Chains A and B, each alone.
Chain A
Amino acid sequence: KNQVEQSPQSLIILEGKNCTLQCNYTVSPFSNLRWYKQDTGRGPVSLTIMTFSENTKSNGRYTATLDADTKQSSLHITASQLSDSASYICVVRPTSGTYKYIFGTGTRLKVLA
């Protein structure tokens, strides 16, 4: 069964610190993997998109990595800010023939001053 699992479920860090969020997926084959940021009560906002052939993608302080062999991805946040407090969701699109994007349960990040 195609699944996307994320860890940790929640994370609390101090402002200015770095953190890494993990995503493991069993989707195969897959077209692309995306990381989204979702503020409470809002729609997800795309951070990065990677195809199976890409290993890393950066967007400002966000850097995503992908290991298609082990089916793992990570999102690294550098120098966290209070505004980074949100849920971070890993999303996998199984193949180019389907629109059924599979969402992970997300990691809820809280950045404290």
Chain B
Amino acid sequence: EPEVTQTPSHQVTQMGQEVILRCVPISNHLYFYWYRQILGQKVEFLVSFYNNEISEKSEIFDDQFSVERPDGSNFTLKIRSTKLEDSAMYFCASRRESSYNEQFFGPGTRLTVL
């Protein structure tokens, strides 16, 4: 059964460093998302991506964040200068064309900023 994969599973970085979180969505999916979940808190929407451009983003997704689909397969989230408060689980998700289709989530990347 196809699934969304994410790498790495755990990333530790120093404050101020750049990190790139990688996701491989399900191959026939067209919509891609990034979410984050701070430990013990609810999942929060970051950004949605369709047709090679951002379709929507939240207030959290400021200039420090960027997304890219460089090769038609990978979907990446870059944080340019990490802050302590960026420590969280980051989930990638994808879905097919219809808005009623379910989103499939990846296993997440745990980002720890020291």
A residues adjacent to B (C-beta < 8 A): 31-32, 34, 41-46, 49, 51, 89, 93, 96, 98-106
**Chain B residues proximal to chain A, CB less than 8 Å:** 4, 31, 33, 41-45, 48, 55-56, 58, 89, 91, 93, 99-100, 102-108, 110
Residues in chain A near residue B91, CB distance under 8 A: 43-44
**Do A101 and B42 form a contact, CB below 8 Å, given A42-B108, A43-B91, A46-B103?**
no
Decide yes or no: A41 and B108 within 8 Å by CB, A31-B99, A98-B56, A99-B33 being known contacts.
Answer: yes
Residues in B with CB closer than 8 Å to A49 are: 100, 102
Q: Are A103 and B44 neighbours in the complex by a CB distance under 8 Å?
A: yes
Residue of B nearest to A6 (CB): B42
Distance between B69 CB and nearest chain A CB, rounded to angstroms = 16
- Across-interface contacts of A89 in B (CB, < 8 A): 42-43
The verdict on A105 contacting B99 (CB below 8 Å), with A41-B108, A43-B93 known, is: no
A98 contacts across to B, CB distance below 8 A: 56
**How close is A83's CB to chain B, nearest CB, in angstroms?**
17
How far, in whole Å, are A102 and B58 apart by their CA atoms in the complex?
A: 11
Nearest Cβ in chain A — how far from B30, in angstroms?
Answer: 12
Give the distance in Å from the alpha carbon of A104 to the alpha carbon of B110 in the complex: 21
* Complex: A50 Cα to B4 Cα, angstroms: 23
